[in-house]
Amino acid sequence: MKKLVLFILIIFVAASAAYARLTFYLVDNFEDGILSNRWYVFDKISASVVPNPESKEEDSVAEACGDKVLKLEGKTSGWYVGGMGTILGIDGADYSRMVIDIYGSKSFGKIKLELFEKNGQEGTNENEKETKWVVEIPVLGKGFTRYSVPLSAFYNEDTKDSDVVFHGTNGGNISKLQVIFVSATKEGVFDCAVDNIMFTF
């Protein structure tokens, strides 16, 4: 009887550990068909929820993107096009990666992911300070690409030191996420779609 109880206990602990590693925080998958007011969009980028682009070939990422994606378009005369952001307030210690699905186009370009970490103690002026952690990912040609970016790949933009990385595994409040869109040419257009923005273990 004792062996049976011990076996059940071991299974329970193992299942709990497995569950912990499957933890994720979904920022947005746009399946509700609208751009939630939790997002703010700025400068020369326009954003709208559209049907998932059809693919003639089997594409596991496209299938995971469901029926809707967020279409992003804009023009620039100086590389930078615009961006979007949302307030989060999650503990970086709970996750180790940020995931984003990108549907590219012939205009290419790149996306800059920005995580803002609040510093200082609550109720003090120090609480208003934030550290910005960044990483850049390319927008490839037509079709979906899934990026699973380790939080340790985000570096401190204030110091420009790529060796100083986000210490999510040691804690760190991710107060805000911003997604910045950059054209492939100084004077050009930006055109892509994004989906399944989330944090995972």
pTM of this structure? 0.82
User: Is residue 173 a part of any domain in this protein?
Assistant: yes
pLDDT in tens, 73-82: 999 999 999 9
Strands, E assignment, 2-142 = 24-28, 39-43, 45-51, 68-76, 80-91, 97-104, 110-118, 130-138
Q: What CATH number should be reported for the domain holding residue 111?
A: 2.60.120.430
User: Is residue 16 a part of any domain in this protein?
Assistant: no
Contact between 195 and 201 under an 8 Å Cβ cutoff? The reply is no
Nearest 5°: phi and psi at 3?
-65, -35
Domains in the chain, number:
1
pLDDT in tens, 102-160: 999 999 999 999 999 886 555 545 556 788 999 999 999 999 999 999 998 998 877 76
User: Is residue 8 a part of any domain in this protein?
Assistant: no
User: Is residue 14 a part of any domain in this protein?
Assistant: no
User: Is residue 154 a part of any domain in this protein?
Assistant: yes
Domain limits for position 159: 24-200
Contact between 87 and 38 under an 8 Å Cβ cutoff? The reply is yes
pLDDT in tens, 187-199: 999 999 999 999 9
User: Is residue 162 a part of any domain in this protein?
Assistant: yes
Whether the predicted pLDDT of 38 surpasses 60: yes
User: Is residue 45 a part of any domain in this protein?
Assistant: yes
